Amino acid sequence: MYKTLSVTALLIVGMAGPVSAQADIPDLTGAWTCDPAPLLIRGEWTTLTYTYEVHDQKDGLFVADMVWDLPPAADVKGNQEGQSSFTGKVTTYGVIDWDNQAVEMVAYKDSHRHSGTIVDADTIRFVHSEIGDDAWVSRSVCRRSMSK
């Protein structure tokens, strides 16, 4: 019985102790270039290429503009209104998770999501998805573009 009370007391004291400081939130501002990525959209295979630029970040939240392309030869078209069938630009809102490693971006005025993991200061791996009639999935590796 005393062992149980001692362990319980240690757990309670441990939970009430000081919280260790969280590492600094990564700065994702700047231009990012992503490797060409296999894409399955509406049951058809093609390749997605895209870049994005994080132009505003406050704490763990950020805004980015994403420019994407699909190869016209594959005859698989995108779905953004008012843009070419094979290329477009979309604004995304992003959040860096509390662990400072997971990243989530969602498209403004669209339903696609980009869930990522920060590999290092200049590399993020993403898994992409969209639901509905224009469903698609992909995954890609993006690297911070080096400034000149």
Domain at 90, CATH number: 2.40.128.120
pLDDT number for residue 51: 96
57 lies in which domain range?
27-144
- What's the half-sphere exposure (Cβ side, CA atoms, 13 Å) at 87? 7
Query: Does residue 94 lie within any of the structural domains?
Result: yes
Query: Does residue 4 lie within any of the structural domains?
Result: no
The reply to whether the predicted model has a pTM over 0.75 is yes
pLDDT in tens, 54-96: 999 999 999 999 999 888 877 777 765 545 577 889 999 999 9
Query: Does residue 113 lie within any of the structural domains?
Result: yes
Rounded Cα gap, residues 11 and 130, in angstroms: 43
Instruction: List C-alpha distances in Å: 45 to 11, 41, 112, 116, 122.
Output: 53, 6, 17, 22, 29
Mean pLDDT of the chain: 83
Yes or no: say if 82 and 52 are a contact pair by the CB < 8 Å rule: no
Query: Does residue 125 lie within any of the structural domains?
Result: yes
Tokens of 129: 């998805």
Only one residue has tokens 């860096």, namely 96
pLDDT number for residue 94: 98
| 107 vs 75, higher pLDDT | 107
Averaging pLDDT over each range in 4-8, 50-54, 84-88, which range is the top one?
50-54
Query: Does residue 22 lie within any of the structural domains?
Result: no
Rounded Cα gap, residues 49 and 38, in angstroms: 9
Query: Does residue 19 lie within any of the structural domains?
Result: no
Q: How many folded domains does the chain comprise? A: 1
pLDDT number for residue 11: 43
* 7 band by pLDDT with thresholds 50, 70 and 90: very low
Rounded Cα gap, residues 74 and 8, in angstroms: 63
Query: Does residue 14 lie within any of the structural domains?
Result: no
pLDDT in tens, 111-123: 889 999 999 999 9
Considering the chain, what percentage of its residues have pLDDT values greater than 90?
Answer: 58
